[in-house]
A and B are shown apart, each in its own frame.
Chain A
Amino acid sequence: MAEKKIYSKLGEMLANGEFILTGELEPEKTCDLSHTIQEAKEMAPYVVAANVTDSPLGIVTINSMAASHIIQKEAGLEVIWQLTVRDVNKLGIVGMIMGGHALGLRNVLSLTGDHPNLGDMPESKPVFDLDSATLIKLVREMVDSGKINGHEIEHPPTLHIGGAANPNADPMESEILKIGRKAKAGCEFIQTQVVYDLDRTIEFLTAIKKYNVPVLLGIFPMKSYAIAKGFDTFVPGVDVPKDILAKWKNIKTEFKDDKTEQKRMYDQANYEFFKPFITELKKKGLLAGVHCMAVHYPRIFPKLMEVIKA
């Protein structure tokens, strides 16, 4: 087997089998990224890289390629550029892959993207010329062969390409087989949807182990009761366990007059929930690391690092 080429810190650490942490940044509808850059700087000491989202929920934000470049440059944090097939056709995406590389991006996460119908521009044409698997295949073709559609690329891109997986999927088997397709397409790493159900996650990760793609487990530490409740209500297909909601609600009420203590309690509760969860999966050899999707919650990273390093 040819030696695996390394193009980024993420690629290097995954190849070395180090247990890693990645974060997530969600630029908004703005042309000024100073808040996101600040957040990136705060998480930079802890994470290997951070995802930069591409108009999540179909709600239009600043372009993720531009944001990824600026964040990487200004915050000095390696990014995982999220790229959806929702609003650019194959021709456009090929151009973006070359452009992304030219802007210094070395990791890309292939996503289908939420349908425009769900967002704040529902009248926009849904493109979906590619899908999340064929985007992976296309990037690998460009990177590995230096060609696109049989045409030489003068200076081919060098990027690592990852994909998403949803352990909560019901039915689960179709999701497992879909990961098989992504693996066949050349997927180099997987980041999962947020999980709370340990048994289900073990079942899913065990089933996809055969595809031999390193998995970063998606977790969502909840900064407050309102966020936990909102996540449970508004993120389809992800249920926050009732006992967690009750515990967070209790922290909210019990420490309502002492915000500092309340924050400490929330952080501690996250630690107590995620530590055994992650440790168990790690022990079973099902994980390459953890992907923390809690945006605007950088203070949780030192605590998470304790779990990662444990």
Chain B
Amino acid sequence: MVVITTKKPVDEVINVLKDNNVRKVVLVSCGVCSALCQTGGEQGLEEWREILEKEGYEIVNGMVVDDVCDNREMAKVIRKNEADVQEADSIVTLSCGLGVQSTIQVLSKKYPEKRVFVTNNTEFMGMTERIGRFYMRCRGCGDCLLNETGGICPITTCAKSLMNGPCGGMVRGKCEVGNYERDCGWVLIYERLKELGRLDLFSKLRDPVDWSESGHQREVVWR
């Protein structure tokens, strides 16, 4: 699993930095997911170093960090690079939204005045077909249906996340959203369950998604 990211337009990032009077920056580039998406890693770090230097920013330090999203890892990184962090006014992360928030959470305990910015947009939790082809196949709904739907997720493969599809927007197995180019998720489920001899599962009337646990801040805390 990879958290799929794409690059924000450079101008958008530069404008944010200008708006916040940023001068001296530590760059933290994700070495895992964003590296795979080519929005972080060594390559991203060098790209952003060049961009920011050209724009007149001082790069105090730049590093590739595995698991920017892990508070423990970021705490270690900040401890090891204490002098650089003190000198910089901001940290710019080349990561997903988890990376930037993990950095803020760890950093703000000791350095509440330091600002953290991000160069990427977080798209989704993705399945990798190959580099440059990533697909959302799970939305982390918290109540997995895959055992009943032939291993195909209606929440992500149906454009309307219907529990009882297909809808009238299906034409010859394709979905009305996206100009009938993508497969209708519920037809995929139907075909798979037919193949498995389990159309009884397809015929089942399913209740709506229960949002009482998942419609707000979620956490998994077991110790």
- Mark A residues whose CB is within 8 Å of B: 86, 90, 111-112, 114-115, 117-118, 126, 128-134, 137, 164, 166, 169-171, 173-175, 177-178, 180-181, 184-185, 193, 236-237
Query: Would you mind naming 14 contact pairs between A and B with Cβ atoms under 8 Å apart?
Result: A112-B167, A115-B176, A117-B159, A118-B177, A126-B159, A133-B164, A134-B164, A134-B208, A171-B173, A174-B187, A177-B199, A181-B205, A236-B171, A237-B171
Which residues from chain A contact B125 at a C-beta distance below 8 Å? Answer: none
SS class of chain B's interface: helix, strand, loop or mixed?
A: loop
A112 touches B186 (CB 8 A): no
A-B contact count (CB 8 A): 88
For B172, the closest partner residue in chain A by CB is A170
- Which of B176, B186, B199: most chain A CB closer than 10 A? B176
- Give min CB distance, A196 to chain B, whole Å: 15
In this assembly, does B211 line the interface, its C-beta being within 8 Å of a C-beta of chain A?
Answer: yes
Which residues from chain A contact B204 at a C-beta distance below 8 Å? Answer: 181
* Smallest CB-CB A-B distances: 3 pairs: A237-B171, A174-B190, A112-B167
> Provided the pairs A117-B177, A126-B160 are in contact, do residues A174 and B208 lie with their beta carbons within 8 angstroms?
no
For A138, the closest partner residue in chain B by CB is B208
Count residues of B near A (Cβ-Cβ below 8 Å). Answer: 33
- Give min CB distance, A41 to chain B, whole Å: 30
- Give min CB distance, A293 to chain B, whole Å: 13
B173 touches A164 (CB 8 A): no
A193 to B170, CA, bound (A): 12
> Provided the pairs A118-B176, A237-B172 are in contact, do residues A132 and B166 lie with their beta carbons within 8 angstroms?
no
> Provided the pairs A112-B167, A131-B164, A178-B166 are in contact, do residues A171 and B187 lie with their beta carbons within 8 angstroms?
yes
> Provided the pairs A134-B207, A181-B203 are in contact, do residues A169 and B162 lie with their beta carbons within 8 angstroms?
no
B202 touches A177 (CB 8 A): yes
